[in-house]
Amino acid sequence: QQQVKQSPQSLIVQKGGISIINCAYENTAFDYFPWYQQFPGKGPALLIAIRPDVSEKKEGRFTISFNKSAKQFSLHIMDSQPGDSATYFCAASLLNYGGSQGNLIFGKGTKLSVKP
Amino acid sequence: SQTIHQWPATLVQPVGSPLSLECTVEGTSNPNLYWYRQAAGRGLQLLFYSIGIDQISSEVPQNLSASRPQDRQFILSSKKLLLSDSGFYLCAWSPSGGHEQFFGPGTRLTVL
């Protein structure tokens, strides 16, 4: 019930292409879905997040698509650039769950390589 | 603006030695604080979280402990390190009652 399943594990995209990473969750009570970007040796950085009352959120080249009925959400990176090469993590949380104060449940990550 | 610091950045310790990693947050008050561990090429494992001073919850039973002696200070400790404690340790904070978590730069721990 608390898992977030992320795919693919790794992804290679040509420069200028679209990168798509998918996540699926089980707990329908989750109410916050962020994506994090992590470069080697650095801490994850919050990239973009969505709540279940909207189906899409766009920030620059990054878009989250959210399908509540399918319990899935995805990250789309348009016009992918070599500088986007990083590991991406999806996550989900429930603000109040047994007093956990919104602890994030993370997917296992996707290593994205954008080839020039 | 808020900033989060972790130190040391890297640490090499022998098996059986003690550990103390420190995390501090600036520019906010009463944050929720978190310790995560990330094994090489793996995801993020939540170790501890804290909603206030001396209020610590453990997610995974292990060789580690956490303390929060001040509102914006979070410490991860061990009395005797194991080889399996090696990894990338990340501290994070979120505003009280908020969802967004912001991570520190991490500490790379190698236990030999």
CB-based contact A109 B97, cutoff 8 Å = no
Mean pLDDT of A45-49: 96
Best of B56, B99, B103, B109 to substitute, by most chain A Cβ atoms within 10 angstroms, is B99
- Residues A7-43 as b/e (b if ≥16 CB within 10 A, e otherwise) read eeeebebeeeeebbbbbbbebeebbbbbbbbbeeeeb
Mean pLDDT of A24-50: 94
pLDDT at B35: 95
pLDDT of residue A70 exceeding 90, the answer is yes
Please calculate the CA angle A17-A22-A24 and round it to the nearest 5 degrees. 170
pLDDT at A101: 58
CB-based contact A104 B101, cutoff 8 Å = yes
pLDDT at A94: 79
Nearest CA in chain A to B93: A103
B43, B99, B108 ranked by CB distance to A89: nearest: B43
Distance of alpha carbon A33 from alpha carbon A96, whole angstroms: 15
pLDDT at A56: 96
Distance of alpha carbon B57 from alpha carbon B59, whole angstroms: 7
Banded model confidence at residue A95, pLDDT cuts 50, 70, 90:
low
pLDDT of residue B41 exceeding 80, the answer is no
Mean pLDDT of B73-84: 96
Distance of alpha carbon B108 from alpha carbon B22, whole angstroms: 13
CB-based contact A102 B94, cutoff 8 Å = yes
pLDDT of residue A96 exceeding 70, the answer is no
Lowest mean per-residue pLDDT among A15-19, A66-70, A93-97, B50-54? A93-97
